[in-house]
Amino acid sequence: MKFFIDTANLAQIREANELGILDGVTTNPSLMAKEGITGEKATLDHYKAICEIVDGDISAEVLSTDFKGMVEEGQKLAAIHPNIVVKVPMIKDGVKAIKWFTDNGIRTNCTLVFSAGQAILAAKAGATYVSPFIGRVDDISWDGLQLIEQLVHIYDVQNYQTQILAASIRNPMHIIKCAEIGADVCTCPLEPIVALLNHPLTDSGLKKFLQDAEKMKTAVAGQ
Ligand code: G3P
């Protein structure tokens, strides 16, 4: 399973990248706005800066909701860097735009996906990635991980090439379960990625090793 970071914060992107386990980045208009990015130039510059930090696929979302606008915006985004993947919402014009991008060699990430039916349409249109938002499904008392399981099964049976990119990850168990189920990619904020590191037995084990290491140094010094 590939690991993407779901943020537009450059410091957090750098931190995850320095761990050496990062395969890409996803952003969305809310994450960009959170970083205070406004206007076309600042937006394109920010994506360029992300591409300079991470050597992997970077999702950049269109803001238009009509076919013509999405195609125009997507072409500009794709021209920033070969690693840019144009993120397109799961709406009727979005499906048409994904098909257009597919036919014109531009890779896409179909976003705001909450059902198997939507994921089938994204795959049929040729999306490179499909982004089911599992945390938001959980938020309305449905089962986000069950959705991932269903998509993995359908894509396997139908031999769809679209990669399942589990998004809206809220905790480390989401990541572990996505890996178990067979999601192709998990995109997560920095916190759940770092939380995967934690285990009390690692902490107590290391504490004991360090205490014994001190004894070893004392013993060597006393010889
Ligand atoms: O990038 C889309 C997605 O990951 C959003 O997550 O936490 O706002 O539901 P969240």
For residue 207, the number of C-alpha atoms closer than 13 Å in the C-beta half-sphere is 6
pLDDT score of 203 more than 80: yes
Give CA angle at 122 (138, 99), nearest 5°.
150
Separation CA 188–CA 138 (nearest Å) = 15
pLDDT score of 64 more than 80: yes
Predicted confidence at residue 40, as pLDDT, reads 94
By percentage, how much of the chain surpasses pLDDT 90?
97
Predicted confidence at residue 154, as pLDDT, reads 98
Cβ(135) to ligand 1 under 6 A? yes
- pLDDT class of 217 with cuts at 50, 70, 90: confident
Nearest to 59 by CA among 85, 78, 90: 85
By percentage, how much of the chain surpasses pLDDT 70?
99
165, β-bridge pairs? 185
Least confident of 51-55, 67-71, 73-77, 218-222: 218-222
- With the most atoms of ligand 1 within 8 angstroms of its CB, the residue from 5, 6, 112 to mutate is 6
Q: Record the pTM.
A: 0.94
Handedness of CA 146, 17, 23, 30 (dihedral sign): positive
Within a 10 A sphere around the Cβ of 103, how many other Cβ atoms? 10
Task: Assess contact for 98 and 122: CB atoms under 8 A.
Answer: yes
- Mean pLDDT across the stretch 4-21? 97
pLDDT score of 219 more than 80: no
pLDDT score of 168 more than 90: yes
Q: Is 69 helix (H, G, I), strand (E, B) or coil?
A: helix
- Mean pLDDT across the stretch 9-18? 97
186: DSSP letter: E
Separation CA 112–CA 58 (nearest Å) = 17
157 CB-contact burial (10 Å; exposed 0-12 / middle 13-18 / buried 19+)? exposed
pLDDT score of 94 more than 80: yes
Cβ contacts of 186 within 8 Å, gap of 6 or more: 1, 2, 3, 4, 165, 166, 169, 174, 175, 178, 179
Predicted confidence at residue 122, as pLDDT, reads 98
Cβ(96) to ligand 1 under 6 A? no
110, β-bridge pairs? 88, 130
Separation CA 56–CA 46 (nearest Å) = 16
pLDDT score of 220 more than 80: no
Q: What is the mean pLDDT of the chain?
A: 97
- Mean pLDDT across the stretch 150-170? 98
Q: What tokens does 41 get?
A: 């130039």
Q: Which residue in the list 34, 48, 76, 87 is annotated as catalytic?
A: 87
Catalytic-residue membership of 87: yes
Q: Which atom of ligand 1 is nearest to the CA of 167?
A: 4
Predicted confidence at residue 43, as pLDDT, reads 97
Predicted confidence at residue 117, as pLDDT, reads 98
Q: Where are the beta strands (DSSP E) in the chain?
A: 2-6, 24-26, 57-61, 84-89, 108-113, 129-132, 163-166, 185-188
8: DSSP letter: -
- Phi, psi dihedral angles at 144 (to 5 degrees): -60, -40
- pLDDT class of 218 with cuts at 50, 70, 90: confident
Predicted confidence at residue 163, as pLDDT, reads 98
167: DSSP letter: B
- pLDDT class of 180 with cuts at 50, 70, 90: very high
Cβ(28) to ligand 1 under 6 A? yes
Within a 10 A sphere around the Cβ of 118, how many other Cβ atoms? 19
Name the residue at shortest CA distance from atom 3 of ligand 1: 168
- Mean pLDDT across the stretch 176-189? 98
- Mean pLDDT across the stretch 89-109? 98
